[in-house]
Amino acid sequence: MQEPTAHDIDEASETDEQARFKYFKWSHKFTSEKPYVLLTEVPDGFPIANFTNEEGCLEVVKDIRGHEEQYDLDRHGFAVCTYAEFGSFDFTRIDSDYIPSVHDILKNEFGPSTEVITFDWRVRSSDNTKTAYDPDAYINIADPLLYLRPAESVHVDQSTESAVRRALFHLGEEKAKALLESRRFRIINVWRPLSTVEDFPIAFCDGSTCEAADMVAVDSVRSSFVGESWHPMFRKNYRWYYLSEQANSEVLLLKMHDSQKDVRARWCPHTSFKLSKARPNARPRESIEVRNLVFTDS
């Protein structure tokens, strides 16, 4: 077996994992053609993407259980915080009940003057009976009742350019420019499981180990918005983490963008992976992620 890339081997825990993540596969054609993925309906036979992914080398995925307080958004691009569990999950009450609680979490973490604008949320499941669709077929991701599969490749949801474009799109030019010029702007994903994670946890990379030069900008084309995401290529220096048996009360904050350029980590590449030590009858992972524009004074 190939040796895993170096990653705090001396501090290994029994719950540390090893995984081969899927990274952007570079092709010479991208010197003249921009990578894209179409998240909107296209004619039959038209390729929904013009790039592929490939597995990197075996990498260590450190379990941060018991050390959550050592990691923060400025230095690593992710943070774990604990809040009360939410009740039974109801798709029809996400906007009325759950989204306000996400705003409360972010204002508690960043300060009461924080302005939060939620622009998207997604529910994911590793239960194949809930995600029984052709991976190469068109998926209406605007459908809030659709369960998406856990992410299968390493990515950052928003590039720097796309983050600003998002603010302009959702806030309007006048308000967006006023906020962008006067306040610190971040895009924060609030991720939490609907029940304790037994398999397919989310893996998150220390953003300070992944430079912009390591990533490729990919157009994400929706019917109402053309965004841009970042897809890293494999590098041996990445540092990967996960939180074993993450509970519903354990909220994971993932940073996609930060306008403050002097912090160590301005983004957090992430994906999911299958646990090598998962029980055969492990409960499928179900999770909700909420994507937010966050404006703060510092």
Tokens of residue 223, six digits: 């019917």
Look at residue 131 in the predicted model and tell me its pLDDT.
85
Measuring CA to CA, which residue among 286, 285, 288 is closest to residue 98? 288
**How far apart are alpha carbons 233 and 57 in whole angstroms?**
11
Look at residue 48 in the predicted model and tell me its pLDDT.
92
Phi, psi of 184 (to 5 degrees): -75, 135
How do 147-148 and 22-24 pair as beta strands?
A: unpaired
Look at residue 144 in the predicted model and tell me its pLDDT.
73
Domain ranges of the chain: 9-296
Neighbours of 77 (CB within 10 A): 29
68-77, pLDDT tens digit by residue? Answer: 999 999 999 9
Look at residue 132 in the predicted model and tell me its pLDDT.
67
Rounded (to 5) percent helix, strand, coil in the chain: 20, 30, 50
Phi, psi of 228 (to 5 degrees): -145, 125
Neighbours of 166 (CB within 10 A): 25
| C-alpha distances out from residue 287 to 31, 92, 150, 283, Å | 37, 16, 9, 12
Classify burial at 143, counting beta carbons within 10 Å of its beta carbon; exposed 0-12, middle 13-18, buried 19 or more: exposed
pLDDT per residue rounded down to tens, the chain (298 residues): 455 544 443 478 999 999 999 999 999 999 999 999 998 888 888 999 999 999 999 999 999 999 999 999 999 999 999 999 988 888 889 999 999 999 999 999 999 999 999 999 999 999 999 986 666 666 677 777 789 999 999 999 999 999 999 999 999 999 999 999 999 999 999 999 999 999 999 999 999 999 999 999 999 999 899 999 999 999 999 999 999 999 999 999 999 999 999 999 999 999 999 999 999 999 999 999 999 999 999 9
Look at residue 249 in the predicted model and tell me its pLDDT.
98
Dihedral of the CA atoms 143, 161, 170, 269 (nearest 10)? 50
